[in-house]
């Protein structure tokens, strides 16, 4: 498939989406997510019997690729156990659709993320412990090189007075909804706010995703902060581009790390 062309299967699922709608009942769980790249929103409903997904539906305010991938996802998950569905990736869905143009791959995150959120919400409702993926990020933050050295010299663990950040090139490490809220808030005093995440997307609530998408925050995906550098105060950071496996320096004045 050429990189900008859609497969017949994608077009078919876009034109005739399966499983559009909602589900109701005590055995139904719903996952809602927003795509911060474009601000689009997805809701996935699953009906669960024991440990198996027996039905799935979706509603979206999303593009054609989001519709096609979620339509396919809802078809694929019927009959899967919750563990199997948790392992379903956007790549599995794209493969089943005979590929997606690379530029539209981010759209397929909506389907997988909303599905996974639905499963987590169901499990939480049953009193099961659901591991928080942000914990992984938080652990890495704890041992970040330069964090303690530059504390209050450009490294901030919270934002008490946003005016301190006026016109500063500010890097905010993604560690959940609060970090996104702060990044958006800082755009009121500086238009140079970068949000950094090692993941391909950030899973946040739809309303926040919409605000992030329409803000001036620049999100660097698949990027890991390796080190904070400077002489007396923060001058730059060393970042790893995980996708390219390349390290580079970025000049910044402030680094916000919400633990």
**Can you tell me the distance from the alpha carbon of 173 to that of 137, in angstroms, rounded to the nearest whole number?**
9
Q: How distant, in Å, are the alpha carbons of 82, 205, 226 from that of 85? A: 5, 21, 33
107 is catalytic: yes
Does position 240 bind ligand FES by CB under 6 A?
no
For the chain, the residue count is 259
Q: What residues form DSSP beta bridges with 256?
A: 156, 172
Does position 35 bind ligand FES by CB under 6 A?
yes
Does position 38 bind ligand FES by CB under 6 A?
yes
Closer residue to ligand FES (CB): 67 or 239? 67
145: which DSSP letter? Answer: B
Does position 213 bind ligand FES by CB under 6 A?
no
Q: Which stretch binds ligand FES (CB under 6 A): 20-28, 61-69, 142-150, 159-167?
A: 61-69
Q: Residues in contact with ligand FES, total (CB under 6 A)?
A: 9
Does position 66 bind ligand FES by CB under 6 A?
yes
**Can you tell me the distance from the alpha carbon of 185 to that of 217, in angstroms, rounded to the nearest whole number?**
10
Please state, as a whole number, how many other Cβ atoms lie within 10 Å of the Cβ of residue 52: 15
Closer residue to ligand FES (CB): 35 or 215? 35
CB of 26 to ligand FES, least distance (A): 31
- Binding ligand FES by CB under 6 A: which of 19, 65, 73, 223? 65
CB of 8 to ligand FES, least distance (A): 19
Contact 185, 179 (CB under 8 A): no
Q: How distant, in Å, are the alpha carbons of 42, 61, 69, 95 from that of 76? A: 17, 21, 10, 12
**Can you tell me the distance from the alpha carbon of 48 to that of 27, in angstroms, rounded to the nearest whole number?**
6
**Can you tell me the distance from the alpha carbon of 23 to that of 55, in angstroms, rounded to the nearest whole number?**
9
Q: Which stretch binds ligand FES (CB under 6 A): 2-10, 59-67, 81-89, 170-178?
A: 59-67
- Binding ligand FES by CB under 6 A: which of 29, 40, 144, 219? 40
Does position 105 bind ligand FES by CB under 6 A?
no
Residues belonging to the active site: 38, 107
Give the residues lining the site for ligand FES (CB under 6 A).
Answer: 35, 38, 40, 62-63, 65-66, 107, 110
């Amino acid at each position: 498939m050429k990189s900008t062309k859609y497969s017949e299967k994608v077009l078919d699922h876009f034109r005739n989406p399966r499983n559009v709608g909602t589900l109701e009942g005590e055995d139904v769980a719903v996952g809602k997510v927003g795509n911060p790249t474009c601000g689009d929103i997805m809701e996935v409903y699953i009906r669960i019997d024991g440990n198996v997904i027996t039905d799935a539906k979706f509603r979206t305010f999303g593009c054609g690729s989001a519709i096609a991938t979620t339509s396919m996802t809802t078809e694929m998950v019927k009959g899967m156990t919750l563990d199997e569905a948790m392992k379903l990736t956007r790549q599995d869905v794209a493969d089943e659709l005979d590929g997606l143009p690379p530029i539209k791959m981010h759209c397929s995150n909506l389907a997988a993320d909303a599905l996974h959120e639905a499963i987590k919400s169901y499990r939480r409702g049953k009193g099961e412990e659901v591991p928080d993926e942000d914990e992984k990020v938080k652990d890495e933050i704890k041992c970040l090189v330069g964090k303690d050295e530059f504390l209050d010299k450009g490294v901030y663990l919270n934002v008490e007075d946003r005016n301190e950040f006026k016109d500063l090139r500010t890097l905010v490490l993604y560690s959940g909804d609060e970090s996104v809220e702060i990044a958006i808030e800082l755009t009121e005093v500086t238009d140079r706010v970068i949000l950094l995440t090692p993941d391909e997307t950030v899973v946040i609530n739809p309303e926040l995703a919409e605000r992030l998408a329409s803000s001036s925050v620049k999100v660097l995906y698949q990027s890991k902060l390796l080190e904070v550098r400077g002489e007396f105060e923060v001058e730059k950071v060393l970042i790893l581009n995980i996708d390219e496996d390349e390290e580079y320096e970025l000049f910044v004045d402030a680094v916000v790390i919400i633990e």
